[in-house]
Structure 1
Amino acid sequence: MAPYRNVQYWLGDFHRRRVLTNKEKFNHSHAKLRNVVERAFGLLKARFPVLKRMAPFPLVTQRNIVIACFALHNYIIKEGLSDEYFSQYNQVDISLQSNNVQDDDDEEEDDVDEVQPRSARDREYMVHLRDQIADQLMRVE
């Protein structure tokens, strides 16, 4: 699900002022979630180099490899085994603010990866779902 276009997106944009609209709130939440996901995959790629150079396996196999890596990582954390990668990534403040703050709205849109829905009906559904999430986020805080 893509963030709203022509609305602030990068975390650094929100440090300058409060989030006011439901679209800004959605984009802020989207950016924070994206930051967490990028950090998680960065950690996994450091621990499991196979993820950096994924062989041309079928998509299902690639998915299963990623799931297995997350499961192994979570097992290491749960069992309290020595984990240099987790410690390293936990100490480093990796944020989209420092890496991706842009001043031009067009550049921001280009940097956001979008997966296009297959049909007009799918697009309409996703737009409606995004609007519902944005409205719910405004009611939460």
Structure 2
Amino acid sequence: MAPYRQVSYWLGDFRNGDRANGKEEIFNHSHSKLRNVIERAFGVLKARFPILKRMSLYSLYTQKYIVIACITLHNFLRQISIDDELFSQYDDEELIMENDNANHQLPSTNNSSGTSNAVFMQRFRDHATEQL
């Protein structure tokens, strides 16, 4: 689900004590915070298991099992490790993990299925915005 265009989005936009104003900005701020949590989760996984950075060397079938194994080990370590440096580093909510490769534009859709999906997602986003 894409954030609203031409509305403040990145966490840095709200760091100076500025609060989100208006429905779209509140949605974008929430979206950005959630995205940051996800990026931190992937960040700790990639830091602990560097193989995840080189996945294209393997078939999709093998990649699937590598990811499952890494996440299983991660969850096991999470349960038994009380003072883990990586967990502590990436648990910091102030750590901003904005992905440099992130697609900042809405994807273009050239087929009717893509258009209907885009319309559905816009409506879903608008409904979520109203709920916030």
Q: Tell whether the structures are fold-level matches, with TM greater than 0.5.
A: yes
Measure how far apart 1:91 and its partner are.
Answer: 5.6
Query: Structure 1 length normalisation: TM-score?
Result: 0.73
Are residues 114 and 61 of structure 1, via their aligned partners in 2, closer, same or farther at CA, if it must alter by over 3 Å? farther
- Pairing 1:87–2:88 present: yes
Q: Which residue of 1 aligns with 2:33?
A: 32
- What is the CA-CA distance between 1:62 and the residue it aligns to? 2.9
Provide the rounded CA distance (Å) in 2 between the counterparts of 1:67 and 1:134: 33
For residue 11 of structure 2, what is the aligned residue in structure 1?
11
Shift of 1:94: 1.6
Which residue identity is paired with 2:126? D
1:13 and 1:7 mapped to 2: Cα distance? 10
Identity %, equivalent residues: 49
1:128 to 120, 123, 128: 123
| Corresponding residue for residue 57 of structure 1 | 59
Q: With the length of structure 2 as denominator, give the TM-score of the two structures.
A: 0.77
* 1:115, distance to aligned residue in structure 2 (A): 4.9
Runs of 5+ unmatched residues, structure 1: 101-109
Aligned to 1:2: 2
Which residue pairs with 2:104 in the alignment? 112
Q: Which has the higher contact order (CA 8 A, sep 6+)?
A: 1
- More deviation, 76-85/40-49: 76-85
CA RMSD of aligned residues (A): 2.7
Amino acid at match of 1:72: L
The verdict on how the C-alpha distance between 1:33 and 1:115 changes in structure 2, with shifts beyond 3 A counting, is farther
Could you tell me how far apart the structure 2 residues matched to 1:51 and 1:125 are? 32
**Cα distance change, pair 71–124 in 1 and its aligned pair in 2 (3 A):** same
Q: Which amino acid aligns with 1:7?
A: V
- What is the aligned residue count? 125
The 2-side partners of 1:61 and 1:116 are apart by 31
Instruction: Please state how far the C-alpha of 1:10 moved relative to its aligned partner.
Output: 1.0
**Structure 2: which amino acid aligns with 1:13?**
D
Q: Judging changes above 3 Å, is the alpha-carbon distance between structure 1 residues 87 and 18 closer, same or farther for their aligned structure 2 residues? A: closer
How many angstroms apart in 2 are the aligned matches of 1:66 and 1:116? 29
**Contact in 1 for aligned 2:40/2:91 (Cα 8 Å):** no
Change (3 A) 1:31 1:50: same
Deviation at 1:120, TM superposition (A): 1.2
Distance (Å, rounded) in 2 between the aligned partners of 1:35 and 1:134: 19
